[in-house]
């Protein structure tokens, strides 16, 4: 029944890995399991597998215990899990695909600049107090923010897994820049340099080479003396509405100021890290994170079309107040696996298919 097919658009490596069960962090079998629940069939393909002339696609489909290639009508509803932001011709094809009447590619755009997202969130008065002061990074703005705040983060506007993030701390009348210099086992090695007036060359070079944002360093709550923030999965579900799928707390490695797992961070359940903050009520903290995340998602989805699957990075202050760090639109979802949160991990795959079912039933994207 091809009208029950849902496309899952993925990139080359992932597709090649499917028949061999080698799909990196992506757990394809979770799609299969949840598809049964919603009476739909996920079919996996790349952009180049689509033939626009006859609107057909060559896709991998799970049948009788293994994946097989099938030529199928192009599904009406497609969940995008590939990244195309650096590929103009792929983007044109995707654009073409979306402009066909009645076809929906959700999560179509999955990379926006950090400054752009900050500006969108600033539009809402109730969200503003949760945002760090943020500017495009220039010599002037880094100076201005470093004079005003105890510490400043300077990070690439479009990046992920904690790559290229720098920090400026005020030390009396001087400043100290901490920056990544080289890698060991995939994690950054950190160096630091003190300065008084002129910003260090490494910082100036980095912000000229590609766009960065400079922002006030948030005062994040700590677990065992290490700052933590959370990966909060917020997704549309079977009723098309936003819901919070789960919270995973990422704790920085000792003496490191970024919490990314790729930078040596460790994932725990929220309740575990909150044991170190006994003055906070875990239920109230969870609720305030949920309230903030849902408001942010609702607002962003009035500005960004086909938004449906968000992985926010959200911290809390030592007083338990949620603060916004960034929005990811192609959450790798593995924080939940790392934190041993198997139910939540599965739900992050099930919800996009539930939403696909909602769209297949003819409902508006919302
Ligand atoms: N303004 C900030 N204040 C405190 N910590 C921050 C700030 N910005 C980033 N960090 C830390 O660095 C990590 C990575 O930053 P993030 O903006 O999420 O970039 P990436 O896209 O590389 O994950 C965050 O998870 C957080 O631990
Ligand atoms: Mg992040």
pLDDT digits (tens, 9 = 90+) for 148-181: 999 999 999 997 899 999 999 999 999 999 999 9
Measured CA to CA, the distance from residue 38 to residue 279 in angstroms comes to 42
Which ligand lies nearest to the CA atom of residue 311 in the structure? 2
Which ligand lies nearest to the CA atom of residue 227 in the structure? 1
Structural contact between residues 110 and 329, judged by C-beta atoms closer than 8 angstroms: yes
Tell me how many helices (H) and strands (E) the chain has: 10, 19
**DSSP code string of 51-107:** ETTTTEEEEEEEETTEEEEEEEEPPSEEEE-S--TT-HHHHHHHHHHHHSTT-EEET
Residues lining ion ligand 2 (Cβ < 5 A) are 313, 326
Ligand 1 atom closest to 134 (CA): 1
**What is the rounded average pLDDT for all residues in the chain?**
95
Which ligand lies nearest to the CA atom of residue 132 in the structure? 1
Please work out whether the CB of residue 153 comes within 6 Å of at least one atom of ligand 1: yes
Please work out whether the CB of residue 259 comes within 6 Å of at least one atom of ligand 1: yes
Residue 100's pLDDT band, with cuts at 50, 70 and 90, is confident
Measured CA to CA, the distance from residue 223 to residue 236 in angstroms comes to 31
Q: Which CATH class is domain 2-106?
A: alpha beta
Residue 87's pLDDT band, with cuts at 50, 70 and 90, is confident
Per residue in 315-329, pLDDT (tens digit) is: 999 999 999 999 999
Please work out whether the CB of residue 220 comes within 6 Å of at least one atom of ligand 1: yes
Domain segments of the chain as ranges: 2-106, 114-130+220-360, 134-216
Residue whose CA lies nearest to ligand 1 atom number 1 = 217
pTM of the model: 0.97
Residue range 63-89: average pLDDT? 92
Residue 3: what pLDDT? Answer: 87
3-state secondary structure of 180: strand
Residue 186: what pLDDT? Answer: 85
Measured CA to CA, the distance from residue 139 to residue 214 in angstroms comes to 10
Residue 71's pLDDT band, with cuts at 50, 70 and 90, is very high
- What separation in angstroms does the CA of 14 have from each of 63, 246, 261, 319, 347? 19, 25, 21, 42, 20
The architecture of the domain spanning 114-130+220-360 is 2-Layer Sandwich (3.30)
Ligand 1 atom closest to 132 (CA): 1
Residue 43 has pLDDT above 80, yes or no: yes
């Amino acid at each position: 029944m091809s009208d029950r097919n849902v496309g899952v658009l993925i990139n080359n490596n992932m597709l090649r890995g499917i028949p061999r069960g080698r799909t990196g962090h992506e757990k394809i079998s979770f799609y299969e399991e949840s598809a049964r629940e919603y009476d739909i069939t996920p079919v996996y393909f790349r952009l180049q597998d689509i033939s626009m002339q006859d609107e057909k696609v060559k896709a991998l489909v799970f049948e009788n215990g293994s994946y097989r290639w099938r030529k199928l009508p192009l599904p009406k509803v497609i969940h995008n899990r590939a990244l195309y932001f650096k590929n103009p011709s792929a983007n044109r094809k995707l654009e073409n695909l979306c402009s066909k009447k009645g076809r929906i590619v959700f999560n179509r755009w999955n990379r926006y600049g950090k400054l752009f997202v900050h500006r969108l969130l600033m539009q809402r008065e109730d969200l503003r107090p949760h945002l760090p002061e943020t500017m495009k990074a220039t010599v002037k703005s880094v100076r201005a923010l470093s004079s005003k705040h105890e510490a400043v983060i300077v990070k690439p506007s479009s990046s992920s897994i904690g790559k290229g993030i720098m920090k400026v701390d005020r030390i009396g009348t001087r400043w100290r820049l901490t920056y990544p210099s080289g890698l060991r086992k995939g994690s950054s090695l950190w160096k630091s340099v003190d300065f008084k007036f002129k910003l260090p060359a490494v910082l100036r070079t980095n912000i000229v080479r590609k766009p960065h944002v400079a922002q006030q360093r948030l005062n994040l709550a700590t677990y065992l003396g290490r700052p933590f923030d959370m990966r909060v999965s917020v997704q549309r579900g079977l009723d098309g509405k936003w819901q919070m799928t789960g919270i995973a707390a990422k704790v920085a490695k000792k003496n490191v100021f970024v919490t990314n797992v790729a930078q040596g961070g460790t994932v725990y359940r929220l309740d575990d890290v909150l044991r170190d903050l006994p003055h906070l009520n875990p239920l109230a903290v969870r609720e305030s994170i949920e309230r903030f995340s849902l408001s942010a998602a609702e607002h962003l989805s009035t500005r960004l079309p086909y938004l449906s699957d968000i992985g926010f990075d959200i911290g809390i202050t030592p007083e338990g107040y949620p603060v916004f760090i960034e929005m990811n639109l192609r959450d790798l979802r593995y924080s939940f696996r790392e934190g041993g949160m198997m139910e939540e991990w599965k739900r992050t795959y099930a919800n996009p298919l539930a939403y696909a079912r909602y769209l297949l039933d003819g409902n508006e994207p919302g």
